[in-house]
C-alpha cells in the first residue's frame, strides 16, 4: 500500500508535521497514525506495521504526556528511550517520527473537561481520576496536528480505545479509530512499556494475570455467571499474593454491567507488582 519515504524523517515541530500531512493529503495519500509514549516494544511495532499495510504514509508519535499521569513519580519514572525507539521505527520503515516537546503539544494549557460518557468513569476512570481527560486532551491535539485518516491503538488499553472512540464521536473528529490485538510475550505477559520496570521475580509473578483471565474465559464458557466468575478470579489472584486493584467482567461495547452471558463480554484487570502497575484484559466471547 505504502511507498516508504526512503529514510524515516524525525519531526519535532507541530507546524511542520501539519504541513507534511496536509501536503500528503493533497496528493491523495492516506495517512495512518500511531500515537505512543515511547519505550517501544513489539506491540507498538505491530501497530506501525498494520498502519503501513493500510495507508500510504505512516506517522508514529512519541510524547510522554504529563496530563494523563495521576502520580508525579509515575511520570518521572516512565521509561524514555527515544534513540532506541527511533532505530526500531527506522528498522520497520516508518515514514515519520513525530517527537514534540510539551510546549509544541500544549502551547497553552488545555483546560477543557471532555465529554467522554460513562465509559470514562468506571474501572481506570475510578482508579485514576482525570486520567482519561488527559488522554482525550493529548489525542485530540495530536489528531489536530497530524490530521490522519486512521489512528491505531493497542487493545491492551481496551478502555482507552473505547474512550478515544467516544472522543472522536462526540467531537466529530474525522479519524477512523482502529483497535489492534494485544501482543504477548511467549509466556503470555501482555507487552507494555512498564514491563521494563519489573524485576525478574515480578515479571514471573505477573504471568498470573493472563492465566486467570484465561480461567475466567473457560468458566464463562462452562456457563458460570459473571458475578460468580469475578469472585472466583479475585479470590484466586489474592490467594496468589497479587496486589489487586480490580478484576471485573463488563459488556465489551461500553463497559456497562452485563445482564447475561449471551452478549459480548470482556474481563479487565489491574494490579501492582511492586511499584509497577499493570493492566490486562481478555475478550470472553465463546469462540
Catalytic residue among 44, 131, 205, 212: 44
C-alpha span between 157 and 145 (Å, rounded): 23
Burial 178-212 (b: 16+ CB within 10 A, else e): bbbebbbeeeebbbbbbbebbeeebbebbebbbeb
C-alpha span between 121 and 166 (Å, rounded): 13
- Contact (CB, 8 A) for 261 and 223: yes
- Contact (CB, 8 A) for 8 and 95: yes
Please give the grid coordinates belonging to residue 273: 507488582
Burial 98-127 (b: 16+ CB within 10 A, else e): bbbeeebbbeeebeeebebeebbebbbbee
C-alpha span between 183 and 140 (Å, rounded): 25
276-283/265-273 β-pairing? antiparallel
Q: For residue 282, what is the enclosing H or E element?
A: strand 276-283
C-alpha span between 267 and 231 (Å, rounded): 12
User: What is the three-class DSSP state of 56?
Assistant: coil
C-alpha span between 192 and 180 (Å, rounded): 14
Please give the grid coordinates belonging to residue 55: 495507508
Residue 41 falls in the annotated catalytic set: no
Catalytically active residues are 44
Amino acid at each position: 500500500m505504502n511507498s516508504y519515504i526512503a529514510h524515516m524523517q524525525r519531526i519535532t515541530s507541530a507546524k511542520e508535521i501539519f504541513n507534511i500531512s496536509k501536503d500528503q493529503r493533497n496528493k491523495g495519500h492516506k495517512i495512518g497514525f500511531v500515537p505512543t509514549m515511547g519505550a517501544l516494544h513489539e506491540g507498538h511495532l505491530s501497530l506501525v506495521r498494520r498502519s503501513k499495510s493500510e495507508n500510504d504514509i505512516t506517522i508514529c508519535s512519541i510524547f510522554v504526556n504529563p496530563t494523563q499521569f495521576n502520580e508525579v513519580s509515575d511520570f518521572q519514572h516512565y521509561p524514555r528511550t527515544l534513540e532506541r525507539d527511533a532505530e526500531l521505527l527506522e528498522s520497520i520503515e516508518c515514514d515519520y517520527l513525530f517527537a514534540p516537546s510539551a510546549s509544541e503539544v500544549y502551547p497553552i494549557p488545555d483546560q477543557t473537561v471532555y465529554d467522554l460518557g460513562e465509559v470514562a468513569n468506571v474501572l481506570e476512570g475510578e482508579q485514576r481520576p482525570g486520567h482519561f481527560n488527559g488522554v482525550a486532551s493529548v489525542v485530540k491535539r495530536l489528531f489536530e496536528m497530524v490530521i490522519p485518516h486512521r489512528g491505531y491503538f493497542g487493545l491492551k488499553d481496551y478502555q482507552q480505545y473505547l474512550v478515544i472512540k467516544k472522543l472522536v464521536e462526540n467531537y466529530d473528529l474525522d479519524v477512523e479509530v482502529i483497535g489492534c490485538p494485544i501482543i504477548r510475550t511467549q509466556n503470555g505477559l501482555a507487552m507494555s512499556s512498564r514491563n521494563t520496570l519489573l524485576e525478574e521475580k515480578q515479571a514471573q509473578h505477573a504471568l498470573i494475570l493472563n492465566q486467570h483471565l484465561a480461567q475466567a474465559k473457560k468458566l464463562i464458557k462452562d456457563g458460570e455467571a459473571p458475578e460468580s466468575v469475578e469472585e472466583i478470579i479475585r479470590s484466586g489472584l489474592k490467594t496468589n499474593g497479587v496486589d489487586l486493584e480490580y478484576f471485573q467482567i463488563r459488556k465489551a461495547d461500553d463497559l456497562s454491567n452485563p445482564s447475561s452471558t449471551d452478549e459480548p463480554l470482556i474481563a479487565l484487570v489491574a494490579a501492582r507488582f511492586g511499584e509497577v502497575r499493570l493492566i490486562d484484559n481478555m475478550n470472553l466471547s465463546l469462540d
